[in-house]
Structure 1
Amino acid sequence: MTTTSTTPRTNAEQRPHGLRDFYENPDVPVASGDARSLRQARMLAAALGPAASGGGVVLDIGCGDGSAARVAAPLLTGHRVIGVDWSQDALRRASGHLPHVVRGELTDGGLPFADGSADAVLFSEVIEHLVDPDSALDELRRVLRPGGHLMLSTPNLAAWYNRGLLLAGVQPVFSEVSLRGIHGRPGREVVGHLRLYTARALREFVAASGFDVVRLAGAPFHGVPRPLRALDRLACAVPGAASILLLHARKA
């Protein structure tokens, strides 16, 4: 990995004026890696079990372009998967992968679903983008039925390579100091990360939000350079050092 720095764009009209404008920009990546999506989908399918008559309702909150739900769909046969996002551009792209997409926000009552109406929530690579993750988990808890499943994934601040980068005085991968460019860390894409979690912090935060943590697992990161990908997959055996954290919790 090499440290790169990009120069801020000079055209003020191209710069995001706020987070909403940033996420409505079609050039901002909204997809995540299939390896992470597949591991998360397998965890959710195992938790839900075979679909009963009528199946369950699975909400993909912050669905982006629908790629995570596309990967999960073959494992969730019989369940109704609904994509939810605040970005109209993301919903347009997600509609090519999902039969049901709706607009919603992670504010108090911002999701267009009744209390206790969902059997499971997929929350893939979303929490790191939020200004107010506390209110977001309150809203997810509201729409989940008692005992409903939360499947959350997020980048790991303490990923194996980030530990070395910090020792070298380099900004960790996944962290961002600007919405306009990369400064002081490896990578080329600005994706709008506001918060990062270690395995311990994520467990404690989710538990404090009214959930029982069932399992924490690791997943690889698609952006790791090819020569290091085998090592990244091996690191998944120790979730606290993996690139991506996969957490399964149930509404208490």
Structure 2
Amino acid sequence: MTTAPARPPELRDFYENPDVPVASGAPRSIRQARMLAKALRGGERPQTVLDIGCGDGTAAATAAPCLRGHRIVGVDWSQDALRRARTRLPYAVRGELTGGGLPFGTGTADAVLFSEVVEHLVDPDAALDEIRRVLHPGGHLMLSTPNLAAWYNRALLLAGVQPVFSEVSLRAVHGRPGSEVVGHLRLYTARALREFVTAAGFDVVRLAGAPFHGVPRPLRPLDRLACARPPLASILLLHARRT
């Protein structure tokens, strides 16, 4: 995933490790793409959509059928992820989420997909500043991130168990369900995400929920039901516009 500079060597190595997951579930990608397609509807020309933190390109490739006619450009910091993304996307370039670190001019992008990246960042404030720079006024930000206050995390905390999505180590999972280390550094509730994005110079248009592909199969109907209440959903999908 794309991260900010000045990362410890251990973190840099972590994200260049080909065994680290760089893709998430298709349901979130499809819901997010449909939200963006609706926002872009009626445009007079093909729109430029940057998938920042594109990982291996799976999410953008899944979203592409919903965004026909628009130009999707994958952007990531990890060279390993980019090698895989180029097998799925026509355009994939390297970029940093710092001042001027994205290889695009100011105000040149119509929309940014920012899918489950912000939770990996050392400096999320600098990242949103850079995204705001490349978007033109009124441009769309489609951000998704795991929900710290997902319905099952509330129950886990009451039981004294570390919430799903949270991590205390980059070496192993400790104190929470699951076995996969994915490098989450920041976690948001629905309220915190709204406030964070608004403070960065965006107007929030909509906050929706999406299911999490890692929920055990017997609980998936309940997880889908929770999407109707974004503060309880597994994944937060936020649509905002640059002011």
**TM-score of the two chains, using structure 1 as the length reference:** 0.92
- Residue 98 (structure 1) aligned to one of 69, 89, 95: 89
Residue matched to 2:62: 71
Q: Distance in 2 between matches of 1:22 and 1:52?
A: 42
Matches for 1:103-142 after TM superposition, within 5 Å: 103-142=94-133
Q: Distance in 1 between matches of 2:39 and 2:185?
A: 30
SS of residue matched to 1:75: helix
Cα displacement string for residues 121-146 of structure 1 (whole angstroms, at most 9, x for unaligned residues):
00000000001000000000000011
- Residue 38 (structure 2) aligned to one of 41, 46, 59: 46
1:17 to partner: Cα distance: 4.5
Mapped contact 1:154–1:245 kept (Cα < 8 A)? yes
The letter for the 2-side match of 1:202 is: L
Matches for 1:154-193 after TM superposition, within 5 Å: 154-193=145-184
1:212 lines up with 2:203 in the alignment: yes
Mapped contact 1:156–1:242 kept (Cα < 8 A)? yes
Unaligned runs of 5+ in 2: 1-7
Whose radius of gyration is greater, 1 or 2? 1
Q: CA-atom RMSD, angstroms?
A: 1.0
The letter for the 1-side match of 2:12 is: R
SS of residue matched to 1:18: helix
Q: Distance in 1 between matches of 2:41 and 2:124?
A: 29
- Residue 12 (structure 2) aligned to one of 17, 20, 34: 20
SS of residue matched to 1:149: strand
1:169 to partner: Cα distance: 0.3
Cα displacement string for residues 120-175 of structure 1 (whole angstroms, at most 9, x for unaligned residues):
00000000000100000000000001100000000000000000000000000000
The letter for the 2-side match of 1:201 is: A
SS of residue matched to 1:178: coil
SS of residue matched to 1:81: strand
Q: Which range is displaced more, 208-217 or 44-53?
A: 44-53
Mapped contact 1:51–1:78 kept (Cα < 8 A)? no
Q: Distance in 2 between matches of 1:75 and 1:38?
A: 8
Q: Distance in 2 between matches of 1:124 and 1:188?
A: 22
1:18 to partner: Cα distance: 1.6
**TM-score of the two chains, using structure 2 as the length reference:** 0.96
The letter for the 2-side match of 1:107 is: T
1:29 lines up with 2:34 in the alignment: no
SS of residue matched to 1:228: helix
The letter for the 1-side match of 2:107 is: G
Residue matched to 2:77: 86
| Fraction of identical pairs, as percent | 81
SS of residue matched to 2:105: coil
Q: Distance in 2 between matches of 1:23 and 1:154?
A: 18
SS of residue matched to 2:110: strand
Q: Distance in 2 between matches of 1:17 and 1:138?
A: 24
Cα displacement string for residues 180-203 of structure 1 (whole angstroms, at most 9, x for unaligned residues):
000000011000000000000000
